[in-house]
Each structure stands twice: as C-alpha cells, then as structure tokens.
Amino acid sequence: MRYPFADGHCDYLLSAVYRGYQFADPLPEQHIALPYMQQGNAKLQLFAMWSNLRLEDTPYTQCMNMAKAYHDMLKTYDVLQPFGPDFDPESDKIATVLTMEGAEPIGTDLDKLHEFYDLGVRALTLTWNFPNAVGFPGVQPGSPGLTDFGKAAVREMNKLGVAIDVAHLNNAGIDDLLEISTQPIFASHSNARALCDHTRNLYDHHIRAIADMGGVIGVNFCKDFLTTNAQATLDDVVDQLRYLVDVGGIHVACLGSDYDGIFGCPEGLPNPSGFPRIAERLAEAGFTPKEIRQLTYENLSNYMLRFCK
Ligand SMILES: [Zn+2]
C-alpha cells in the first residue's frame, strides 16, 4: 500500500533564501527537496517562515524574502500547488501551505498579520524560543500567559482563518488559547512529554484538550524531543504517534518533521524519502490501513482544510 504523507513543519525557506538551498537539486545537508518528496510520496508540506534574530535583516524583511522564495518556487515547479479542497493526494501533484514560525515579523501591528495573510500565510506558530509581543516560550518554564496584544492577535487570527500553532509556546499560553480560541489550535511540531521529558513537549492534558477541540499534533523528528539516547530512531517516531493516539484518539496525531530545522535525523528518516517506513512500522504495530492513512495524511490535511478554502 502506497500512503500519501502530510508534514506540518519544515524550515526549508530560510535556507532557500540565505543558504542557497535549491528545491530540485538538494545540497548534501538539505532535507526538503523534490526528489526526496517524490520518493517518499510526500503530498502536503507546510513551509514555515522562521526568522533568525541573529541575521542582519529584520524578521519582517526575512519573512518578506521567504514569502517571495515560496511563491517563486510555486511558479517554477508545476508539480507544486497551493493546498485546498480540490487537491487530490492521488494525483502526481504536491500541495503546499505557507506558515510563519514566531510572530516577531508582525511586531505589535495587526495590519502586518493581514499583510501576511494576503501573502498566503494560513498558520502561525505564536512564539519560537524567545518571548515576543504575543507570548512566552516553553523553554522558559513558569513564564506567564499570552500578552494583551497576543490575545488580540488570536482573536484576529480566528476571524481571518489562520491556524494557531502552539509548538514552542509555554504552558500558560496554551491554557489561555484553550480558553479564548474559537477555532481548534494545533501543535505543528511537538511531541508528548510523557515519552521524552523536554520543555518543548506537551503534557497529556494539553494533548487531550487539543484533540477534544479538533486540533492535531505533528510528531517532531528532532532527536532531543524524541529520546535521551544518543541516536533517535524510526521507532521513537512511531512510539510518539502511538502515544498521541492512546491519549488523544486516532484523529489527533500527524507528522511535523521539522526537516531543515533539525540536526541529526532519526535513523531511517534522513529526509522525506523515508516516510513510507513509518507506514510500514504502523502496520506492524497493528494499525489498520484506514488508521495509517489518517496518521500519515488525513488528520493534518483535514485540519488544514479549515483554513485553506
Ligand atoms: Zn520550531
């Protein structure tokens, strides 16, 4: 059985702009690339714009450059199409969604949120690993919830139809969102803390709450969020999927590789060409073909359809 795959997060775009990554002709260290995606039957990819605060360009300028790179890529490669209800994962096309990781490019200006929406952004990871105008990161345990501006931004995202991503966000921020967001929230690239105790990972009660409101959680392939062993493996990824299903139900789990944003990929998953191995392991673990398809593709694609109309 050849399953389609959907991936909730990658950091390809920053390297495409600042490190010369080419979509069809990958550098050795590059993960996201057309040949690997075709090999692995990757059918839906969220492309995040993560801005690096150490670069000279402001986060806003970096994001503008990345949005241009994204749209140039769609123009250059006919195989790519913006994700929407008419996308058929059985076709030879690959669907894409533009997202933003860290609200720094918006600053304290909701007009900029509209500007990025008009450029195609359909999901926003509220924070990266630093506090910003919206809220605080999980890597600062005990930090407070969303700011007043953050809450206003959430209401605006709900109105516009931008998916709210809690990857990197602190626990108090997630609690606030569970209270105020009128749309289901998601975690594009986060794991279960019960299996790997890291501040980037989610507690069971948040996994359940995200599942109950119709959100999804993408399993992150980063070694540090999967295991305390020296090397992560394919089995660590499958264990995370299985655990998320056990805690939140079959509809909550999906993939959020974090490719091109992580160093040291799990054994067997060097890039999207390895995706089919996940389906093989899920079958060995007793998941039915219908369930495997939910985990590899449908959960994330159904969630994103709410925002990609
Ligand atoms: Zn990230």
For 139-157, write each residue's pLDDT tens digit: 999 999 999 999 999 999 9
78-88 burial, b if ≥16 CB within 10 A, otherwise e? eebbebeeebe
Distances (CA, A) of 295 to 182, 196, 298, 302: 25, 20, 7, 11
Cα(223) to ligand 1 centroid in Å equals 13
Q: How far is the CA of 287 from the centre of ligand 1 (A)?
A: 29
- CATH code of the domain in which 278 resides: 3.20.20.140
Residues 4-58 have pLDDT tens digits of 999 999 999 999 999 999 999 999 999 999 999 999 999 999 999 999 999 999 9
Contacts 24+ apart (CB under 8 A), 12-16: 12/47, 12/259, 12/260, 13/47, 13/48, 13/49, 13/50, 13/66, 13/69, 13/70, 14/49, 14/50, 14/51, 14/52, 14/62, 14/66, 15/260, 16/66, 16/69, 16/73
Q: What is the pLDDT of residues 165-191, one digit of tens each?
A: 999 999 999 999 999 999 999 999 999
Task: Count structural domains, the chain.
Answer: 1
Question: Average of pLDDT values for 287-302?
Answer: 98
Mean pLDDT of 58-81: 98
CA 306 to chain centre: 16
CB neighbour list of residue 184: distance below 8 Å, 6 or more residues apart: 210, 213, 214, 215, 303, 306
How high is the mean pLDDT of the chain? Answer: 98
Q: How far apart are CA 138 and CA 249, in angstroms?
A: 24
Query: Which tokens in the block code for residue 9?
Result: 């997060």
- Residue 127 CA, ligand 1 centroid: distance in Å: 9
224 alpha carbon to ligand 1 midpoint, in Å?
A: 12
Taking the alpha carbons of 199, 188, 59, 56 in that order, is the dihedral positive or negative?
Answer: positive
Q: How far is the CA of 168 from the centre of ligand 1 (A)?
A: 7
Distance, CA 286 to ligand 1 centroid (Å)? 31
Q: How far is the CA of 261 from the centre of ligand 1 (A)?
A: 7
Question: Whole-angstrom Cα distance, residue 159 to residue 170?
Answer: 23
Measure the CA–CA gap between 47 and 97, rounded to whole angstroms.
6
The SS3 of residue 58 is: coil
**What pLDDT, on a 0 to 100 scale, did the predictor assign at position 222?**
98
In the predicted structure, residue 1 carries a pLDDT above the cut 80: no
Distance, CA of 244 to CA of 155 (rounded, Å): 28
Burial classification of residue 134, based on how many CB atoms lie within 10 Å of its CB (0-12 exposed, 13-18 middle, 19 or more buried): buried
CA of 153 to the centre of ligand 1 (A): 20
Take residue 3 and report the two structure tokens written for it: 């399953």
Query: Ligand 1 mean position to 190 CA, how many Å?
Result: 9
Residue 132 CA to ligand 1 centre (angstroms): 15
**Position 264 pLDDT exceeds 90:** no
Q: Which amino acid is at 174?
A: I
pLDDT band at 250 (very low <50, low <70, confident <90, very high): very high
Its domain, for residue 269, covers 5-305
Asked if residue 135 lies in contact with residue 171, where contact means CB atoms within 8 angstroms, the answer is: no
Cα–ligand 1 centroid distance for 258 (angstroms):
7
The pLDDT tens digits for 219-246 are 999 999 999 999 999 999 999 999 999 9
Read off the pLDDT of each residue in 89-114 and give the average, rounded to a whole number.
Answer: 98
Six token digits for residue 8: 């909730």
Query: Residue 3: what pLDDT?
Result: 98
pLDDT category at 127 given cuts 50, 70, 90 is very high
